Amino acid sequence: MMLFSLAKGRAVIALATAETLATVTGLAIAPTPARIAALRLKVKGTGTLVKWTDVQAFGPDAVTVRSADKIRTDSDMSVPADKHHDPIGKRVLTDTGQDVGILGDVDFNETTGHIQRLIVGSQEIAGERLLGVGTYAVVIAAP
């Protein structure tokens, strides 16, 4: 398992050329099952993200992709992946409207991208409770 706060800032490297393509800056989440859909990037060229399915490995020092053509734009995604849908720092609300707090971190499986826990202050919320991420809030199922 890995906290996203520890993954932020990692280099994204192309296996084909060993070139550093980008740096991880954020994430896009898809619910049901809760998983990382894409990593948001700061890039040298065009594009702003890499789909999780295009990640070859998520190592301790870098994220690898097969080649530079795996860096994509927001319009290439089936779930909202623009920077306004990055969940970190957003309010967490239950589906009944209860304000839980601010999302501080996401604990995920670096092999599968599945979200194990949402960290809200000192609370740990099971990833399977995630219902969605919008521009204003992260929505979870009420306990």
pTM for the whole structure: 0.88
Instruction: Say if residue 28's pLDDT is above 80.
Output: yes
CA distance 52 to 143: 29
Distances (CA, A) of 97 to 55, 94, 101, 113, 119: 35, 5, 12, 28, 18
pLDDT at 77: 66
| pLDDT, tens digit, 9 for 90 and up, residues 77-134 | 665 566 667 899 999 999 999 999 999 999 999 999 999 999 999 999 999 999 999 8
pLDDT at 64: 97
pLDDT at 47: 80
Q: Which of 27-36, 46-55, 80-89 shows the lowest mean pLDDT across its residues?
A: 80-89
Average pLDDT, the chain: 91
CA distance 126 to 118: 6
pLDDT at 81: 61
pLDDT at 73: 80
Show the tokens assigned to 5. Answer: 């706060």
pLDDT at 45: 72
CA distance 11 to 62: 5
40 contacts 50 by C-beta, under 8 angstroms: no
pLDDT at 101: 98
Instruction: Say if residue 53's pLDDT is above 90.
Output: yes
